[in-house]
Amino acid sequence: MLRSALIALLFAFAAPAAEETAPIRFEEIAAKAGLRFELHNGEAGGFHQIELTLGGVAAFDFNNDGCTDIFFTNGAAVPSLRKTGPGFSNRLFRNNCNLTFTDVTAEAGLAGEGYAMAVATADFDNDGLVDLFVAGVKGNTLYRNLGKGRFADLTAKAGLANPAPKWAVSAGWFDYDNDGWLDLFVANYVEWDGAKEPRCGTPERQYYCHPDAYRGLPNQLFHNNHDGTFTDVSAGSGIGSHIGKGMGVSFADMDGDGFTDVFIANDSVRGLLFRNQGNGRFEEIGLEAGVALRDDGHAIAGMGADFRDLDNDGKPDLLVSGILNDSFLLFHNLGGRRGFEDYAQRTGLFMSTRQLTGWSLGMYDFDNDGWKDLFFALAHLMQLDRYLGRESILPNRVYRNLQGKRLEDVSAGAGAAFQAAAAHRGAAFADFDNDGRVDVVVSAANSPAKLFHNTTGGKGHWLGIRLRGVRANRQGIGATVHIHLADGRDLYNHMTTSVGYASSSEAVVRFGLGSTDQAASVTIQWPGGRIQKLANVAADQLIEITEGTNQ
């Protein structure tokens, strides 16, 4: 009796009571919304490594109508790597602003060729239109948004047509030198040649090889020249000096020095953390900072990553997904140059995810209580059912954030459709119906995509902020936002579209405010250092803040 009482008391201290909120719930509406897409990996019994890793999704407003659209990358026939056969096209779906979508791929010119992996969205030329970068197995493509629903392939003209293309799994946009123009980071995976690919297992029991069978690749950094072209600065910046097997890429100013840093989740080798030194060079400090390996020194098969402030202390934390028996990692930012500490054990995430395999993920406040929750797109590797007698398909998971101290798996209450298993891959986050609740679109290998409409009830207020840079880049990517509430709470977030695995999310900085219907102050630190402050901002609206105005 005494022992039980002591345990209950310990848990009472470990998980403080949060503001009362309704259960997080999602309704799966892809078919009803006209979002008919199936991710094809081209598998035909050849066990080609590329068949495992595709599936990027983007949520972005390509036509500036205020409604967030969706782009899916797709595979191709293997081993030709051409998009032969029905259903292999990349696809763009226009949001009709009523929670339905129309396929506009053909008129947009975005069907694409080759075996695509990832997508990264941003306005790289500061013209007010969001552009697309598509990463793939044998080459990448930069699509410039021309307006009026059309895109043009600008790859060669931009200087991004690699003479020796590398297999890229993720990419992202950030302004590493704060010059007001977005630069491009490409996370490369391994050396791959379909004609010389290693074969693992026996002819009777062949399987996909472990990443150890392939040589890793360096990542690439391309500097924006302000004229529609880019210069490869991978060598001079120090980015190209480190070999990895890059999968997820995420950005944040981890030490508060005003320059954006980069984390790369690597597959079965240590993660890489590039600290931006502010002089065009990066220092790799993953080991010193404590984020390169699991707490026991084990390198996990890192896939998705998100770099955000989970506990509202003003410092971005780091979340990384892995495969079966890895457990997912959560690193708490200690501030300044002190690095990170393992937070997965104490929050309950470590043991809860031990038997899971995670791909994309994101930290978003799904119930608008003021604390960012966690979403994971899940599926084991496709050979698991064949060789270990375990289903490879999995349902996704959502964890409620209990004031930054504990994470509670609330997937069981998220709705029956949410519990449907599939080979989930990419995930992108946005408020697709502008109701103030964050929704999720998820791709699934050889299965229909899913659109999880957030139907969480309750009275949680919210605030969405769309930034418009003047001296900073047009979308304000890299800006940090601090909200102070009248009840004394402080909330933090920053502007990025690089979230999860191979995917790109809406260009809006979102906050749940709980029971408070007004932000006492909103403070923005723009890339380059300009500070801007607004007072008494009403809740339950999406506002646009232009750099240097609205004060």
Going by C-alpha positions, the residue among 331, 324, 360, 366 that lies closest to residue 453 is: 366
Going by C-alpha positions, the residue among 198, 188, 133, 142 that lies closest to residue 164 is: 188
- The DSSP annotation for 317-367 comes to EEEE---TTT--EEEEE-STTS-EEE-HHHHTHHHHTTT--EEEEEEE-TT
pLDDT digits (tens, 9 = 90+) for 465-505: 999 999 999 999 999 999 999 999 999 999 999 999 999 99
Percentage of residues in the chain having pLDDT higher than 90 = 89
Residues 185-196, mean pLDDT to the nearest whole number:
95
* pLDDT at residue number 385: 63
pLDDT digits (tens, 9 = 90+) for 432-470: 999 999 999 999 999 999 999 999 999 899 999 999 999
Going by C-alpha positions, the residue among 81, 52, 424 that lies closest to residue 267 is: 52
Going by C-alpha positions, the residue among 257, 150, 126, 234 that lies closest to residue 187 is: 234
pLDDT digits (tens, 9 = 90+) for 115-171: 999 999 999 999 999 999 999 999 999 999 999 999 999 999 999 998 888 999 999
Going by pLDDT thresholds of 50, 70 and 90, the confidence category of residue 203 is: confident
> What are the angstrom distances between the C-alpha of 147 and each of 127, 130, 144, 150?
10, 9, 9, 6
> What are the angstrom distances between the C-alpha of 437 and each of 24, 226, 374, 399, 458?
10, 36, 14, 16, 11
CB proximity list for 407: less than 8 A, separation 6 or greater:
347, 348, 349, 352, 374, 399, 400, 401
* Distance of alpha carbon 446 from alpha carbon 40, whole angstroms: 5
* pLDDT at residue number 15: 43
This prediction has a pTM of 0.95
pLDDT digits (tens, 9 = 90+) for 73-90: 999 999 899 999 889 999
* Distance of alpha carbon 537 from alpha carbon 44, whole angstroms: 56
